[in-house]
Amino acid sequence: MADIKVSIASPVIEEEEIDAVIEVMKSGMIAQGPKVIEFEEEFAKYVGAKYGIATNSGTSALHVALLAAGIGEGDEVITTPFTFAATGNSILYTGAKPIFVDIDPETFTLDPNQVEDAITDKTKAIMPVQLYGQSADMGAIMKISKDYDLVVIEDAAQAHGSEYNGVKVGCLGDMACFSFYPTKNMTTSEGGMITTNNEEFVKNAKIYRAHGSATKYHHDVLGYNFRMTDIAAAIGLEQLKKIDTFNEKRIKNAKLLNQGLADIDLIETPVVKEGYKHVYHQYTIKIKDGKRDELSEHLLENGVGNGIYYPIPLYNQVLYTKMGYDQSLPVTEEIVKEVLSLPVHPALSKEDLDYIIKVIKEFFN
Ligand SMILES: *Cc1c(COP(=O)(O)O)cnc(C)c1O
């Protein structure tokens, strides 16, 4: 295989982040401390939520959010099968059951029209995924949640700064969970954050984050050590100052890719619906002639990193089939065969983007 010339992801770490880490290291306060509190406040302010609760990963944020909402054994949580494993895993950790419903064929997010039919006496929550940087149809999802008294937890791991009708992802549901893994739109190395306006959820989440302990050495429930460190928070505070610039660069890169790929009939470029701000965690195209895997290979042979997110619906993962899941959702089944994500991150140059377009055009000619 050829050397990678253009990578699929590349975190932007500059002097500011490095200096901030050194400062924390020298302070002697390297676990959860004042930087974490500052990052929680600043991040919540950024998304427009009242509170932020930092965790050590996006996965633990999802896990803690579910626990904070009282979800556990015997409960059902409606979600999408077209997502990263963490979405389903976090539900399983609590003892609840993920109920998978189909997705919108254009945006690949949870189809609200399928949600209502999946509601049973056991349903406690809906977990839409703000996939690739674009929100699900939160208006429709929140309406269903009100009608049936369900909690909505946004999996916002891929959507920092994304908007729905002018409101940022992170305060569209009852809680939202972000990831700061290095491939995401902003990073803290590993890290996560819950945002919410609900004080009860904040109180519960902080207890579950720290061994089920509200008062030191008193443990009323089984909790975890899911704390963020001040080292990670210091990186996050610097990245937060740059997130809008990073996203603008992603949006600009996506536009250039849209233009460059516009005249290839077999490619469908990303659909952004009216009222949505897409922040392109991934730039994901559909390949309509069954040659998706060949194109992926061709790109790699020419040094262009690319990714298939996600090749297998969660309900078809061995983890789930062993639990007895036996599902086939038509839109999901089609989409997993067609999607391909191209580099769109802020570190790309115009030359990189022109090169990606050239390599794709060669394939179709
Ligand atoms: C990255 C991601 C997560 C998990 O985040 P980590 O920080 O890696 O634990 C959860 N859900 C989705 C959709 C993600 O992309």
The beta-strand segments (E) located in 96-251 are 97-100, 123-127, 151-155, 163-164, 167-168, 175-179, 192-196
User: Under CATH, which architecture does the 243-364 domain have?
Assistant: Alpha-Beta Complex (3.90)
Q: What is the pLDDT of residue 354?
A: 98
For residue 337, pLDDT beyond 90: yes
Q: What is the mean pLDDT of residues 233-258?
A: 98
User: Under CATH, which architecture does the 15-238 domain have?
Assistant: 3-Layer(aba) Sandwich (3.40)
Best residue among 64, 84, 90, 279 to mutate for probing ligand 1's pocket (most ligand atoms within 8 Å of CB) is: 84
Q: What is the pLDDT of residue 61?
A: 98
What is the C-alpha to C-alpha distance for residues 39 and 195, in angstroms, rounded to an integer? 12
130 CA: nearest ligand 1 atom: 13
pLDDT one-digit tens code per residue, 55-87: 999 999 999 999 999 999 999 999 999 999 999
User: If pLDDT is split at 50, 70 and 90, which confidence band does 338 have?
Assistant: very high
Q: Among 219, 162, 198, which residue's Cα sits nearest to residue 50? A: 198
Q: What residues does ligand 1 touch, defined as CB less than 6 Å away?
A: 57-59, 83-84, 86-87, 129, 155, 157-158, 179, 181, 192
83 CA: nearest ligand 1 atom: 13
**CB 214: neighbour CB atoms within 10 A?**
14
Nearest CA to ligand 1 atom 7: 58
Q: What is the pLDDT of residue 1?
A: 58
Q: What is the mean pLDDT of residues 147-152?
A: 98
Best residue among 181, 185, 239 to mutate for probing ligand 1's pocket (most ligand atoms within 8 Å of CB) is: 181
Q: What is the pLDDT of residue 3?
A: 87
pLDDT one-digit tens code per residue, 105-116: 999 999 999 999
Q: Of all residues in the chain, what percent carry a pLDDT higher than 70? A: 100
Q: Of all residues in the chain, what percent carry a pLDDT higher than 90? A: 97
Q: Among 209, 225, 233, 229, which residue's Cα sits nearest to residue 64? A: 209
Centre of ligand 1 from the C-alpha of residue 20, in Å: 25
Q: What is the pLDDT of residue 2?
A: 73
Question: What is the domain partition of the chain in residue ranges?
Answer: 15-238, 243-364
Centre of ligand 1 from the C-alpha of residue 238, in Å: 21
Q: What is the mean pLDDT of the chain?
A: 97
Cβ contacts of 132 within 8 Å, gap of 6 or more: 108, 158, 270, 278, 280, 281, 282, 283, 284, 309, 341
Is the pTM value of this prediction over 0.75? yes
Q: What is the mean pLDDT of residues 327-331?
A: 98
Please give the structure tokens belonging to residue 83: 């997502």
